[in-house]
């Protein structure tokens, strides 16, 4: 009897107490979808720009014609957290950060150091570690007001831009907050973050269909929380060939005095540490699979001689890109290839002996050999290329 009474009471209590303790209607919140963070060293202030979807921006018709698809709020403060709260003053609603996909920091903040920003993003429970972090060398007033034809909220387009850049072009890459946290906490904290700029259209016209667009082909090199240098597009791609296994892109080579475009469809890279009589060296092996994409000469592309010449040319080009990026890393004394980490795993005792002097004395002079083996996998729909016609596979 008592048992049945207790079960009944529990059922009644469960019905009465259901619901969210801190229930908030979505109409009472401003959903932050992208944020830009700047720092003024003269005033010692953080400036935050927040992009929020305007009412109706995600409706079927894409919002109200003639009106902006996003709202922009700005805040300032001596700390990043204070600047965020200051931005909320003008919004009229609480800023909700759980759906913020992109955080962009300015170049001068990156050079000053962004530890306090990382600390907040790691500490606050609303922030998602899957959000993307990037750097821009553009001025905030130009960057945050740039309209996007692809997305209703412009900063969201950056997420698509970085994903597509890795999968289709091999010129940039996404960097999640979780990746930055991991790299910052590493023993030898050197890493790269994508750099985003505004690209001016080559076509000169007043048409609204042709406008400035966001562009990402470079990266910044960071030691702990401070930017120290910039990688060119070619140096960035050399880094990606080794560190990002899902990179794809176009490789242009010259065979028999004609240019050929090859599509990189897959690759595998290995970093092999070597210690011989106390001398440290590294071997970077790269195996790349490619397709013929465009051929600028009449030839039988199934001929073994032509395929071998193409593979040799591709191996040479890929090796040059990787070597150029490695040379840059040694010049700036920043091991963003994580060679030290590989040495630590393979030879822990050797790493213990050189750890303290690795970045400044050992890494800049260590011998690094790059070995690339390119292989042509497919020719496309044509097996014989000549001016008069073609044979199908």
CATH number at residue 263: 3.30.300.210
Instruction: Note whether 267 and 247 are within 8 A (CB).
Output: yes
Q: Are residues 247 and 167 in the same domain?
A: no
State the Cα–Cα distance between residues 156 and 266, nearest whole angstrom.
28
Q: How far apart are CA 107 and CA 154, in angstroms?
A: 19
β-strands 190-199, 213-223 pairing: antiparallel
Out of 201, 231, 261, a domain closes at 231
Residue 215 is assigned to a structural domain of this protein:
yes
Contacts of 56 (CB under 8 A, 6+ apart): 63, 64
* Range(s) of the domain holding residue 282: 234-393
User: Is the same domain home to 192 and 262?
Assistant: no
> 207 and 310 share a domain?
no
| Side-chain-side CA neighbours of residue 77 (13 Å) | 18
Q: Give yes or no: residues 214 and 246 share one domain.
A: no
C-alpha distances in Å from residue 195, one per residue of 198, 212, 229, 319 = 10, 16, 11, 24
203 with 340, same domain: the answer is no
60 lies in the same domain as 178: yes
Q: How many helices (H) and strands (E) does the chain have?
A: 11, 15
- Residue 45 CA to residue 324 CA, distance in Å, equals 38
- Inside any domain, residue 12: no
Quick count: other Cβ atoms within 10 Å of Cβ 65? 6
Domain check: are 247 and 227 in the same one? no
Residues 90 and 104 in one domain: yes
**Integer angstrom CA distances of residue 50 from 28, 139, 144, 154:** 17, 15, 8, 11
Per-residue pLDDT of the chain (393 residues; tens, 9 = 90+): 666 656 566 666 665 555 555 556 566 688 898 999 999 999 999 999 998 877 765 555 544 444 567 788 999 999 999 999 999 887 778 889 998 999 999 999 999 999 999 999 999 989 999 999 999 999 988 888 777 655 666 777 788 888 877 677 778 899 999 999 999 998 889 999 999 988 776 545 554 444 467 778 899 999 999 999 999 999 999 999 999 867 788 999 999 888 999 999 889 999 999 999 989 999 999 999 999 999 887 887 778 999 999 999 999 999 999 999 999 999 999 999 999 999 999 999 999 999 999 999 999 999 999 999 999 998 776 665 554 444 444
Position 388 scores a pLDDT of: 43
| Distance from C-alpha of 314 to C-alpha of 376, rounded to nearest angstrom | 9
Rounded (5°) CA angle 230-192-313: 75
Domain assignment of residue 9, yes or no? no
> Is 200 found in the same domain as 290?
no
pLDDT value, residue 35 = 94
- First-residue to last-residue Cα distance in the chain: 82
- Residues contacting residue 44 through CB under 8 Å, at least 6 positions apart: 78
pLDDT of residue 207: 45
Task: Name the nearest CA neighbour of 37 among 95, 98, 114.
Answer: 114
Shared domain check, 284 and 198: no
Where are the alpha helices (H) located in 271-381, listed in sequence order?
Answer: 304-331, 339-346, 348-354
Say if pTM beats, i.e. exceeds, 0.85: no
Q: What is the CA radius of gyration of the chain?
A: 26
Same domain, 173 and 299: no
Same domain membership, residue 92 and residue 159: yes
Count of domains for the chain: 2
> Hey, is 57 helix, strand or coil?
coil
Residue 10, in any domain of the structure: no
What residue has token string 């240098």? Answer: 229
At residue 11, the pLDDT reads: 66
């Amino acid at each position: 009897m008592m048992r049945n009474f207790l079960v009944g009471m529990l059922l009644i209590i469960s019905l009465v107490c259901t619901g969210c303790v801190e229930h908030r209607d979505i109409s009472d919140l401003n959903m932050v979808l992208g944020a830009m963070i700047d720092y003024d060293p003269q005033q010692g202030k953080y400036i935050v720009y927040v992009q929020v979807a305007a009412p109706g921006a995600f409706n079927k018709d894409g919002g109200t014609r003639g009106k902006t698809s996003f709202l922009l709020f700005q805040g300032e403060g001596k700390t990043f957290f204070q600047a965020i709260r200051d931005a909320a003053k003008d919004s009229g609603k609480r800023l909700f950060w759980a759906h913020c996909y992109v955080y962009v920091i300015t170049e001068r903040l990156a050079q000053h150091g962004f530890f306090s920003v990382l600390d907040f993003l790691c500490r606050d429970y609303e922030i998602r570690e899957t959000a993307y972090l990037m750097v821009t060398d553009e001025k905030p007033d130009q960057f945050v007001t740039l309209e996007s034809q692809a997305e209703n909220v412009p900063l969201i387009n950056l997420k698509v831009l970085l994903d597509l850049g890795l999968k289709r072009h091999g010129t940039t890459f996404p960097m999640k907050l979780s990746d930055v946290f991991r790299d910052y906490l590493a023993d030898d904290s050197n890493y790269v973050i994508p750099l985003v700029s505004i690209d001016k259209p080559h076509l000169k016209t007043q048409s609204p269909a042709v406008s400035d667009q966001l562009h990402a082909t470079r990266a910044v090199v960071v030691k702990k929380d401070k930017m120290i240098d910039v990688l060119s597009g070619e140096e960035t791609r050399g880094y990606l060939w080794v560190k990002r296994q899902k990179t794809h892109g176009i490789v242009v080579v010259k065979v028999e005095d004609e240019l050929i475009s090859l599509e990189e469809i897959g690759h595998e890279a290995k970093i092999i540490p070597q210690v011989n009589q106390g001398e440290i060296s590294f071997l970077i092996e790269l195996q790349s699979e490619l397709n013929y994409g465009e051929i600028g000469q009449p030839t039988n592309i199934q001929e073994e001689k032509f395929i071998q010449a193409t593979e040799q040319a591709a191996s040479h080009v890929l090796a040059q890109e990787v070597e150029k990026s490695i040379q840059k890393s040694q010049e700036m004394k920043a091991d963003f290839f994580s060679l030290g980490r590989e040495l630590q795993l393979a030879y822990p005792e050797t790493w213990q002996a050189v750890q303290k002097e690795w970045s400044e004395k050992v890494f800049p002079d260590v011998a690094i050999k790059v070995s690339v083996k390119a292989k042509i996998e497919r020719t496309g729909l044509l097996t014989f290329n000549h001016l008069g016609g073609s044979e199908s596979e």
